[in-house]
Amino acid sequence: MTLTAQSAAEFERQSLEKLRAQYTEQGFTFIARPGRKQIPDFLGSYYPDAIAIKPGSNIVIEVKQRPSPAAERSLQEIRRLFEGHPDWQFVISYGGSDPLTEIAIPPASPAAIRSRMEEVRSLAAQGHKRAALVLGWSLLEAALHRSESEKDKRPREPGTLLETLATLGYISPAVERRLRPLVTLRSRIVHGDVDAEPTADDLESLLTAVDEALS
C-alpha cells in the first residue's frame, strides 16, 4: 500500500525527528532538509533528507519507508556520487532508524587481529590480493575498536577511519599519507571495479598500519 502525500510527509517528519535526537546525542549538528549552501557541491542536483556533521564525520542521510527494488536502483545512482569523496558517507534510514548505531561491533583482542593478519598474507600469496585488501582494511578498523579509549564503536568510512587513527596517535602521519590512496582503491573493489588490483606493497603498507595501530 502506498503512502498518501499527507501520510508520507508525516512519516518523513517523524523519521527526521527521531534521527535528530539520535545524532544530536552523538554530538552531531543535524540539519533536516538542508538547502543548497549546506550540501556539498559534488552532490549536484541531489537534495538529501538530512545531513549530520561533526569533526571527522560528515553524513548524508536518505529516509525511506522500506527497501524496494525501484528505490535501490535510485540509491545506487546516489552512492556513485560519493566515489572519490571519502570524507563524506551516505546512509539510508528506514523509518528513522540509525543504520550506523544498529551494528554492534564487539572488540577483538590483539592476538585475534594478528591471527587474521596471517590470513591476509596467505590470501595475497595465493593471488587473492583484492580479498586480502578488503580483509586487511577490516583489521585496521578492528584495531581501532579494540582500544579501550575509543568509545565510539560505530562503523566508519575508510577515510574517516584513517583520520581517527592518526588523530588518536595510533598511526603516524606518514602512514596515513601512504594509505590515503588505498581508500579509493578499496572503494573501487568493494563497489564492483573488477579491474582494480592492489600491489604487494599496498598490502604490506596496510598490514604495517594494522601492526602500528595495535602497538
C-alpha cell at 178: 601512504
User: What tens digit of pLDDT does each residue of 178-215 get?
Assistant: 999 999 999 889 888 899 999 999 999 999 999 999 98
The yes-or-no verdict on residue 99 having pLDDT over 80 is no
Q: Look at 4 and 129; give whichever has higher pLDDT.
A: 129
For the chain, how many residues are written?
Answer: 215
Q: Give the residue from 50, 192, 150 showing the smallest Cα distance to 140.
A: 150
Ordered by start, the domain boundaries in the chain are 5-94, 110-214
> In percent, how much of the chain has pLDDT > 90?
45
Please state whether the predicted TM-score (pTM) of the whole model is above 0.75: no
Question: Which CATH class name applies to 5-94?
Answer: alpha beta
Q: What Å distances lie between residue 27 and 22, 54, 90, 91, 196, CA to CA?
A: 9, 7, 18, 17, 36
So what's the pLDDT on residue 7? 74
Most confident of the following: 12-26, 65-79, 96-110: 12-26
Q: Are 116 and 149 in contact (CB under 8 A)?
A: no
Q: Are 133 and 210 in contact (CB under 8 A)?
A: no
With vertex at residue 40, the alpha carbon angle to CA 34 and CA 46, rounded to the nearest 5 degrees, is: 65
So what's the pLDDT on residue 152? 54
DSSP 31-76: EES--GGGS-GGGTT---SEEEEETTEEEEEEEESS--HHHHHHHH
Q: How far apart are CA 86 and CA 215, in angstroms?
A: 26
